[in-house]
Chain A
Amino acid sequence: MARVLFDHVTKRFGEFTALRDFNLEIADKEFLVLVGPSGCGKSTALRMLAGLEDITEGSIFIEERRVNGVPAKDRDIAMVFQSYALYPHMTVYDNIAFGLRLRRMPKDEMDPKVKEAASILGVDTLLDRKPGQLSGGQRQRVAVARAIVREPKVFLLDEPLSNLDAKLRVHTRAEISKLHQRLGTTFVYVTHDQVEAMTMADRIAVMNEGIIQQVGSPQKLYDEPVNVFVAGFIGSPSMNFFEAEVVENGEGVRLEGEGFVVDVPDDRADDVRGFLGRRMVFGVRPENIHDKDYVPAGITAAPTAVKVDVTEPMGNEVFLHLMAGDTKLLARVDPRTAMRAGDRVEVVIDMERMHIFDPETKESALS
C-alpha cells in the first residue's frame, strides 16, 4: 500500500520559489507522470519525495507516514537518475547488489535477487562488466535493475530516457510500462516530454512555474485541458490558438478572427453564446483541420479560405503551415493532399472539437 501524498508542499531556494503549494495524491500502484518544461519544479518535487531536498513548507506522506526529515535511505524508495548514476568503479553485479549489501542481506539470499533483477532487464550477461564498457541503453537497464532489486515501495524515475536515441526511447517506453505492470509498484516518473507522459502514464500532472496546472488521465488532458498552457503542452504538434470575436446573425454563430471567419456548428453554439460580442481565445488542434478534399466522414463544417505558407510531408501525413488572414494555423492533413506552398486553398476547420479560453485568465471557458 504505497500511497504518496504531497500536502501543501512549498519549496524555496533563497528568494526563488521552485514549488508553490503543491498538492498531489498518488494512488497505490499508480503510474504517475510529472511533466512540464524545464525549470517547472517537477524534478524538485521528485527530489523532495526522494529525500534529497528539504521541504520548506507542507508535508509529504508515503503510505500514512509523514516523511519530512526522514533520510532518503529510510524511505524505502528507489530512484533511476537521468545520468543513471552507476558507480563507475564497480561491476554491474556490484552496482545492483550495492543497496542489498548495505542492508547486510546474506549472500545466498542476495545473489538470486540480483540475478533475477538483471534477467528482468536483460542485463544478466553483463554482470562482470564495468559501466564504462556498456552502451547507453545497457547502462539505463542496469540503473533500472539496481532500482528494482530492492523491491521499493515507490519507484522514482527522473528523465530516464533522455540520454537514449530516439528509436531506443520508443522501445524502452514500452519496456517500462511492462515493468510497471509486472512489479505492481507505485511509479513516479518525471519528464519534459509529453509523448512519454501520454504513452506511459495512468495519470499525468502537468506543471508550470512551480504550480500544478492539471492532473488527470492522458485522454482527459488531451480532451479537456483546463487552460492554455495545458492545451498547448499536451499534443504534438501543439494546438493552434487564435483570438476571435463571437458574433451571431440569422444563419447562426460565427467567430470573426484576424482576417478570417469560421462558423460554429449548431451543437456547440450554446458553448459560445454566453460570450457574444466578446473576444475569446479559441484552440483547434492541427489534426482537426482537414484538406477540403479529404475530410473524414461525419464532419460537415463549411470550408475556410487560407493561404499555404509551407508544406512538410511526413510520409503518413502532411503538415501545412497556413495563413488564415493574419492568423497562423498548423494543419495535419491527409498525405494525398495536393496543396502546395503559395496555393490559395480551402480547408475545413472542425470546430466541433474547438476549445475556448478566457483571454485574461487563460483558463478554459467551457463549463
Chain B
Amino acid sequence: MAKQVIALSKRERLLRAVSRGPLHVAIIAICLMWMVPSTGLFVSSFRPKDAIATTGWWTAFSTASEFTLANYQQVLTAQGMAQSFMNSLIIALPATLLTVAVAAFAAYAFAWMDLPGGEIIFLVVVGLLVVPIQLTLIPVLRMFASAGLTGTFPAVWLAHTAYGLPFAVFLLRNFFIALPKDLLESAFLEGAGHMRVFFRIVMPLSVPSLAALFIFQFLWLWNDLLVALVYLGGFRNVAPMTVTISNLVSSFGSEWHLLTSAAFISMMLPLVVFFALQRYFVQGILAGAVKG
C-alpha cells in the first residue's frame, strides 16, 4: 500500500517535470541567447589577430587554437586604453560624489524643510528628469568655450553633476520623506538643528539608498559617451574609454582583436560592480524607473 503511494507520487512528479519541460527549455534558451554576444566578445579578445579575422570565435574550443594576452597589451599601451581607464575614473568618481552631496542637501530640504512653493519646484525637478541633454549641448558648449573650459575635467564634472541632479534629488527626496517622521521630530525636540539631524540621523539611516544612488550614478557616468564627446572634444589625453573605443571603431573598424579587448576592458568594472553589488544596482534601477 505504502509502496503504491510512493510509486504514484514519483510518477506524478515525473509527469509534472515533463509538462514543465517547455518552460525550462524556453528560459534556458533565451538566457543562452542573451549570453552569446558577450561571450563572443570575451573569447575573441584573447584570440590572436589572424584567428579572429578568419574563423568564428566558437571554433576556438574545437580546434587547438591558442589564446593570447597580446591584444590587451596592445590596446592598453599603443591605443591608450590604460590612460583612458584612468580618465574614466577621474571623470566618474568626483562627479558622482558631487552629485550625491549636492542632491542630498537639496533632497533633505525638499523632504523636511519648509520651502515656499517646494511642491511645485519639486514637480519641475521631476519634469527635468527626462529632458534630453541634447537640449543643453550647444549653449553649454558655448559657455565652456568662452570660459576656456572645453577639454577639461572640471567641465564634465559640472555638467555631469547638473545632469544627474534631477534623478538624484528625486530618488533621495523620496527616500528621506519615507523616514519615520517621529524619528526626526524626536531629534528636533531633543535640541538638534537641521544640520545635526541631517548628519546624525538622516545620513546614517540612508546608507543603502545613498549607496544605490552612488553605484547607479557612477556606472551611468562610466558608460557615458555623449557628454565626454561633446565637452572634452576628441583630445586623447582626457578621453574616457567610451570615447577611445568609438574612435577605435571609426579608425580600425575591422581590427577586432583591438576592439574586443578594448570593449572588454571598459566592461570589467561595471561587471564587477554588478556582481558584487547587484542588490543596490537593481534598487537604483527600480527607483529610477522613470529616468531616461
Query: Is chain B in direct contact with chain A in the complex (CB below 8 A)?
Result: yes
A interface residues with partner B (beta carbon < 8 Å): 50-52, 71-74, 77-79, 81-89, 98-99, 102-103, 146, 150
Instruction: Assess whether B183 is interfacial by the CB under 8 Å rule.
Output: yes
Partner of A79, one of B189, B192, B201, B205: B189
Chain B contributes a number of interface residues (CB within 8 A of A) equal to 17
> Told that A102-B191, A103-B191 touch, could you supply 14 new A-B pairs with CB distance under 8 A?
A51-B188, A52-B188, A52-B189, A71-B188, A72-B188, A73-B188, A73-B193, A77-B189, A78-B190, A85-B182, A87-B187, A88-B205, A98-B200, A99-B190
Q: Measured between alpha carbons, how far is A82 from B183 in the docked complex, in Å?
A: 11
Q: What residues of chain A lie closer than 8 Å to B182, measured between beta carbons?
A: 81-85
In the assembled complex, the Cα of A74 lies from the Cα of B180 at a distance in Å of 22
Nearest B residue to A94 via CB reads B200
Is B119's beta carbon under 8 Å from chain A? no
A72 touches B189 (CB 8 A): yes
Top 4 closest A-B pairs, CB basis?
A99-B190, A85-B182, A73-B191, A85-B186
A83 touches B180 (CB 8 A): yes
Are A89 and B191 in touch, CB under 8 angstroms? no
Which residue of B186, B191, B201 has the most chain A CB atoms within 10 A of its CB atom?
A: B186
Task: Give the distance in Å from the alpha carbon of A81 to the alpha carbon of B190 in the complex.
Answer: 13
How many angstroms between the C-alpha atoms of A88 and B206 in the bound complex?
A: 11
B279 CB within 8 Å of chain A: no
CB-based contact B186/A81 at 8 Å: yes
Chain B residues near A51: list those with CB within 8 A.
Answer: 188-189
- Once bound together, how far apart are the Cα atoms of A56 and B205, in whole Å? 33
Q: Which residues of B contact A146 (CB under 8 A)?
A: 190
Cα(A99)–Cα(B193), bound, Å:
11
The CA of A21 and the CA of B187, in the complex, are separated in Å by 30
Give chain A residues whose Cβ lies under 8 Å from the Cβ of B13. none
A79 and B196 alpha carbons, distance in the complex (Å): 19
Residue-by-residue, is B171-199 near A (CB-CB < 8 Å gives 1, otherwise 0)? 00000000010110111111111001000
Measured in the bound complex, the distance between the Cα atoms of B180 and A84 in whole Å is 11
Q: Is the CB of A52 within 8 A of B191?
A: no
B195 to chain A, nearest CB (A): 11
Q: How far is the CB of B190 from chain A (nearest CB, A)?
A: 3
